[in-house]
Structure 1
Amino acid sequence: MNKKRVGVIPVAAITLVAIACAPLLVWLKGHAPLALNVFANERYNLEIGYQVTVLALAAIVIGLVYAMTGREGLAYLNLRRRGGVIRPEPWIGVKPKAGETWRHLGLNFAVVITLATAIVIYFQVVHGKSISFDWVPGIFLVLAFALANAFSEEILFRFSFVAVVSKYGYSPYLAQGLAAAIFGVVHYFGNPGGLVGVLMAAFIGWFLAKSMLETKGFFWALIIHFLQDVVIFTALFME
C-alpha cells in the first residue's frame, strides 16, 4: 500500500491532537490545574502548576508520536544535531553560501528573533508601566519556566508534525505549514499577542519546524524558543 495513503490517518490524528492542545493551553493559563504553594508570590505558584501540567501533556504527545512513528520519529529529539543542509528560502533572505550550515543559520536567527521578540514585548508588556523584579528566586524561575515552556510547546506544535509528516513521506512544507498555522492562531491570546503576535508566532512556528526537518534534531528549535521565552517571562515577572 502507498506510504502516503497509510499516513493520512496518523497525520490527521496528530493534527487534531495539536488543534485540541492549542485552546487547552489557553484554558489552562486562565485556571489553576495544579495547586502548588511553593513561593509567597502567587504568580510563581500558578506558573509552576501550569508548566508541570503542560509537561505532562507533552509527555503524552511524545508517547502518541512514538506509537505512530517508532524510534524514527523520536530521533528528532536529538540535541546533538546542530548542522544540516539549509534549504534556500529567498523570500526571507535565506540564501546559504557554500559550506554554510544550520550551525550558522541557527545562531544568526537566534539573535534576530530574540531581538525582535524583545522589541515587541517591550511595547506590549513593559512600556509605560512601573516595573519591579524579584531577582531571587525570579531570575532562576525565569530560566526554568522558559526551558519548560519551550520544550513543551516544541513537542506539541513542532515535533509532533515533523516526526509524523516525515515518517510518511509528505512534503516538509506540510509540517511547516501546520506548525505555522496552529502556533500562530494560539498566540492571538498570548504574549506577544494580537495580530502582531499571530504573525510572529506563525513565522517562528514555520522556521523552527524547518530547523528540525533540516537538522534532523531538536537543538535549534529548543534554543531559539528558550531565548524568546526568557525575554517574555522576564517581562511578565517585571509587571
Structure 2
Amino acid sequence: MTNRNLRLLPLLAITLIVVAIAPTLLWIRDHPLLAFSFFERGTYNTEISYQITVLMIVLVVIAIVAAMTGKAGLSYLNLRNRDGRIRPEPWIGLKPSDSDSWNNVGRNMAVVITLVTAVVIYFQVIHGERITLDLFPGLPLIVLFALMNAFAEEIIFRFSFVAVVHRYGYSPYVAQGLAALTFGIVHYFGTPGGIPGVLMAAYIGWLLAKSMFETKGFFWALAIHFLQDVVIFIALLMK
C-alpha cells in the first residue's frame, strides 16, 4: 500500500464514522438510550436524556480522533486561541481587510449569524405560536442544552474533520467541505429544517471549520454555535 493510500485511510475512516453518527443522532432523538425524569415537563426530560446520550458518543469520537491524530489533533480543542489571520472567501461573504482577524470578525459573525437564525426560527417554529417564558428551570436549561448541543455537534461535525485533515496534510478545504456537507444534510431533518436549514447549516459548517483551522482553536466554533442554539432552544422549549 502506498503512502498516499495510508494517508487516505484515516480521512475515509473519520468520514464514515461521522456519516454513520449523523442518522444515529436523529434516531436517538426519538429513541433515547437513557431516560431521565428530573423535571416536571416532559420536554426537558426528553432533551436532557438526548444530550447525555450524545455526550457519550462525543467522548468516543474524541478518543478515536486522539488515536488517529495524537496531540496535534487534540490541540484544536483549545479555547484560548481566539485570533488568527482570515483567509478571504468572497463567495461566502468573507472579504476581510488587512487589519481584520478572527478576534473582531468572529464577534461580528456571531451577531449576524444569531440574528439570521432568529429570523429563520421565527418563521419556521414560532410564527403563529404562543411563547411561554418559563424562568426556572427553563432559562438555565436552555443555556445548558445549548452548550451541550453546540459542543457535541462541533466535536462530531467539525473537530473530527479538522483534526484528521490537519494531521495528515490535506487542504483545509477538505475539512470545510466535509463539515458543510454532513452538517447541511443532517439539518434537512433538524431545526431549522428543510432546504433553508440545509443551506444555513452547510454555511455554518464551512465557516466554523474554517475558524478552527485559522485560529488553531475551538472558541469561535463553540461560541457561534452556542448562541445559535440558545435561540433555537428558546423557540423549541418555550412553545
TM-score range, shorter chain: over 0.9
1:2, distance to aligned residue in structure 2 (A): 7.2
2:10 aligned partner: 10
Structure 1 residue aligned with 2:75: 75
Any conservation in 1 of the 2:65–2:160 contact (CA below 8 Å)?
A: yes
What is the aligned partner in structure 1 of residue 167 from structure 2? Answer: 167
**1:104 maps onto 2:92 in alignment:** no
| 1:196 aligned partner | 196
RMSD: 1.2
Q: Is the 8 A contact 2:32 2:53 kept in 1?
A: no
Superposed displacement of residue 5, structure 1: 3.5
Match of 2:154 in 1: 154
What count of residue pairs does the alignment treat as equivalent?
239
Match in the other structure for 2:177: 177
Structure 2 residue runs of 5 or longer lacking an equivalent are none
TM-score, normalised via structure 1 length: 0.97
Q: CA offset at residue 89 of structure 1?
A: 0.8
Deviations 1:167-198 (A, max 9, x none): 00101000000000000000001000000000
Please list, as runs of the form range in 1=range in 2, the aligned pairs for 1:206-225 lying within 5 A after superposition.
206-225=206-225
Structure 2: which amino acid aligns with 1:226? F
Q: Is the 8 A contact 2:81 2:215 kept in 1?
A: yes
Check conservation: 1:81, 1:215, Cα contact below 8 A: yes
Deviation string, structure 1 residues 40-59 (Cα, Å, up to 9, x no partner):
11110010010001111011
Residue type of the partner of 1:95? Answer: K
Summarize the alignment of residues 2-81 of structure 1 with structure 2, pairs less than 5 Å apart.
Answer: 4-81=4-81
Query: What is the TM-score normalised by the length of structure 2?
Result: 0.97
Distance 2:11 2:153 in 1: 18
Tell whether the 8 Å contact from 1:19 to 1:182 is kept in structure 2 after alignment: yes
Query: Please, which runs of 5 or more residues in structure 1 have no aligned partner?
Result: none
Runs of 4+ residues deviating >4 angstroms: 1-4
Matched residues in 2 for 1:5 and 1:211: separation? Answer: 28
Please, which moves more after superposition, 195-204 or 3-12? Answer: 3-12
Say which SS state the counterpart of residue 59 (structure 1) adopts.
helix
Give SS of 1:32's match: coil
Give the superposition deviation at 1:4.
Answer: 4.5
Residue 32 (structure 1) shift: 2.6
Question: Deviation digits for residues 150-182 of structure 1, max 9, x if unmatched?
Answer: 000000000000000110010100000000000
Paired AA for residue 120 in structure 1: V
Q: Distance in 2 between matches of 1:224 and 1:4?
A: 35
Identity rate, percent: 63
